[in-house]
């Protein structure tokens, strides 16, 4: 089990904060976890809403860029959730022992939704559930239940 994990995506608005929230809920106090984006975007209310549905509050999350972190090589594992994030993580950790993984996950903004609020929420829920499965597969199942 790693001591620290960083989730990164493009804007730190949807995928990486959702993964951070899930990780903290599933492994409270066991793994230091943060998230960041290649460049910071704006908070996403749909991400906060679907996480709230399973009892995880990310509503106060403020997106930040990887350049706001002290040193990417201080993390044991970096999980990149977009190709751009993978490239940034690999570039910043070339000479370090930091493990960089790429998880090809759903982009709820790219999912054809027809525009309705409920259809958009379905795509966000699919992402949330996919992230939970991937986290549990990579870091092990816990007794903690989410949702």
Model pLDDT, residue 94:
87
CATH number of the domain to which 17 belongs: 3.40.50.2300
144 domain-assigned? no
Residue 88 belongs to what domain range? 4-138
Helix H or strand E encompassing 17: helix 15-26
Model pLDDT, residue 143:
66
**What's the average pLDDT block by block, 10 residues per block, for the chain (147 residues)?**
96 98 95 96 96 97 93 94 96 90 94 74 95 96 72
77 domain-assigned? yes
66 domain-assigned? yes
Model pLDDT, residue 147:
66
DSSP 77: E
Total structural domains in the chain?
1
146 domain-assigned? no
Task: Report the b/e string of 16-52 with b at 16+ CB within 10 A.
Answer: bbbbbbbbbbbbeeebbbbbbbbebbebbebbbbbbe
Q: Rounded to whole angstroms, what are the CA distances from 116 to 43, 45, 56?
A: 20, 15, 24
């Amino acid at each position: 089990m790693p001591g620290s994990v960083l989730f990164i995506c493009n804007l730190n608005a949807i995928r990486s904060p959702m993964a951070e929230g899930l990780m903290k809920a599933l492994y409270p106090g066991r793994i230091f976890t943060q998230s960041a984006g290649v460049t910071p975007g704006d908070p996403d209310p749909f991400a906060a809403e679907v996480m709230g549905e399973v009892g995880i509050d990310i509503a106060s999350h403020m997106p930040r860029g990887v350049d706001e972190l002290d040193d990417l090589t201080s993390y044991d594992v970096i999980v990149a959730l977009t190709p751009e994030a993978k490239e940034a993580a690999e570039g910043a950790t070339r000479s370090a022992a930091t493990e960089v993984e790429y998880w090809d996950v759903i982009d709820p903004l790219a999912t054809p939704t027809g525009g309705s609020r409920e259809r958009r929420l379905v795509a966000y829920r699919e992402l949330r559930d996919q992230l939970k499965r991937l986290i549990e597969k990579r870091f092990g199942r816990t007794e903690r239940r989410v949702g």
